[in-house]
Chains A and B, each alone.
Chain A
Amino acid sequence: MSDVLPVIYLLASISFILGLKMLGSPATARKGNLYAAAGMFVAIIGTITLYRTADGSPLHNLPLIITALIVGTTIGWMMAVRVQMTSMPEMVSFFNGMGGACAALISVIEYMHLHSHVAAGEADHPSATVGYLFAVVGGLVIGSVSFSGSIIAFGKLKEKIKDFRFSGQHFVNIFVMLVIVATSAMIIMGYWGGMQALLVVGAIALIYGVMFVLPIGGADMPVVISLLNSFTGVAAAFGGFLYGNMVMLIGGILVGSAGTLLTIVMCKAMNRSLLNVLLGSFGATAAPAAGSGAFPGTVRGITAGDAGVLLAYAKQVVIVPGYGLAVAQAQHVCHQLEHELEGRGVDVKYAIHPVAGRMPGHMNVLLAEADVPYEQLVEMEEINPEFERTDVVLVIGANDVVNPAAKTDPSSPIYGMPILDVENARQVIVLKRSMKSGYAGIENELFYRPNTTMLFGDAKASITALIAEVKAQ
């Protein structure tokens, strides 16, 4: 019996590796996810039925374990099925936080267990080695940071928590991190012990997670979530060390390293370094406040009627979707408008900025939900030369990704970020709720250009009006 479980863990590990590999290509991604899920299922069932403790007895509390599994499955399934595609990023962040909390709890229980043995006079308990304590404290610290950080990221994406900065924040953060390292080291080396020691370190780690994510700009949240994702991977790997459990070790480290690389790739898409994101350059420079009129020219409005005429008689239209489209749930009406225009012989394409929305690929997921064919979604590098030939660009709830300041103004916090060159088109119509600035909190000069007009209102209502106007032509 004892030989079977390692084989099951081996198979599960292979399924994780294959799954991750297949997730990297559009054709195999779905199957890859299912492979990994199947591997996970087998590993969990195998653990419940075949795991033997050090004295050779099977796991206790099985009915309760199974109850917990059923409760977790039901809640997780319901949340995952019900969540709107628009709030996918915060959902991922939430689930990530749960994994972190799970890792931290394991450490707490393990330490409690050890502590009760020490208190009972078994001071030389065989498991109280440096390696064992390292795994316990490591899992606790990283799991806690990941948990509280993910919950803050979740709140920020839900726009319930605002950015919070104070001067010297980075130094305070570095100081807190040093305190964590020092106290952890003391516990690991055996200079400090007891339940309260572990709980103090856990509490500081939770606080650190909050302070680490709070100052980071909302537009950078995807990067942070990806980073916290790899943190949780490492926390899981500490659990693997603790139990000499290969599948936890492999799964955790794999996600830890792949997640870190993914984080770096995401930063590159925004032309920034990871350090730059973490130290938060967004909002650090004084940009002209929204509506201050710091740019030459005026903001001109357009009626749905006029915009409808422009669209209906254009040859080529490019739609630039942004987070506003997601908020207004306007992806379906957007597809309708596109359909209506195509019926009139207009060539319609979507320009997808790599970080449009709140996550890379966020817009792709949304538009795919509305059945927009894949071929119509054009990536930034390919669409940029086309704007010169484009009659009308329809910017729907996007702001920072079409801000020319990224190219022209070295003092702008988004300077250097590659953007969509919509200003090269003959006419730009911006659908926006108000003149409020984008997520990066900076003014957009595009709105003041002579070839730009604004159609104010909720994106869904505006697009519905546009459809009616195009039909009337």
Chain B
Amino acid sequence: MDAETLQMIYLVVLMVFLGIELIGHVPSVLHTPLMSGANAIHGVVVIGSIIVMGQAESTLALILGFLAVILGTLNVVGGFVVTNRMLEMFKKRS
């Protein structure tokens, strides 16, 4: 196993623990917005689709890449906007 792969595995292990720490004591009221916010964050996958589309060699790859970028963007934008709408309502009362 090369050094770069090993480094990534270290990162994965640390992130697993960090993720658990971050969610430790969240009140149940915030479970839905939290799930929705996390949902938007994994939309980071759109970056992969941009990279793959930018290097597409065939028309089919380009079409699939185009579709992937649209779907990934839907995940990111929809996710953040929905989360913001939910949290906006929580803010109003204070």
- Chain A positions within 8 Å of B, measured between CB atoms, are 12, 16-17, 19-21, 23-26, 29-30, 32-34, 36-37, 40, 43-44, 47-48, 51, 53, 58-62, 64-65, 67-69, 71-73, 75-77, 79-81, 83, 85, 88-89, 91-92, 94-96, 98-99, 101-103, 105-106, 108-110, 112-113, 116, 131, 222, 225-226, 229-230, 232-233, 235-237, 239-262, 265-266, 269, 352, 354, 359-362, 364-365, 368-369, 371-374, 377, 379
Contacts and interface: CB of A to CB of B under 8 A. Distances in A.
Given A44-B46, A88-B82, A374 B61 contact: no
Contacts of B58: 112, 116
Most chain B CB within 10 A, of A65, A222, A260, is at A65
A374 B34 contact: no
A29 B87 contact: yes
B33 A257 contact: no
7 closest A-B pairs by beta carbon, nearest first, are A72-B73, A59-B54, A257-B19, A76-B77, A76-B78, A80-B81, A239-B48
B77 A371 contact: no
6 contacts: A23-B34, A24-B24, A71-B70, A105-B49, A113-B52, A233-B42
A434 to B, nearest CB: 28
A422 to B, nearest CB: 19
Given A92-B39, A365-B32, A40 B80 contact: yes
Contacts of A250: 11, 15
B34 A24 contact: yes
Given A23-B33, A92-B39, A257-B15, A106 B48 contact: yes
Mostly, the B contact residues are helix
Interface residues of B, number: 82
A88 B90 CA distance: 15
Contacts of A25: 26, 30
Interface string B53-64: 111111011101
A361 B34 CA distance: 10
B80 A37 contact: yes
Contact of A101 (B18, B29, B71, B94): B71
B36 A92 contact: yes
Interface of B: 4-5, 8, 11-12, 15-20, 22-58, 60-62, 64-94
A229 B39 contact: yes
A113 B61 CA distance: 8
Given A23-B34, A33-B33, A109-B68, 4 more contacts: A33-B84, A43-B47, A72-B77, A235-B45
Mostly, the A contact residues are helix
A233 B71 contact: no
Contact of B22 (A17, A222, A226, A369): A17
Contact of B71 (A34, A72, A379): A72
B28 A269 contact: yes
Contacts of A32: 37
A43 B22 CA distance: 22
Given A103-B45, A109-B65, A262-B38, A95 B93 contact: no
Contacts of B74: 72, 75-76, 79, 95, 98
A361 B45 contact: no
A266 B71 contact: no
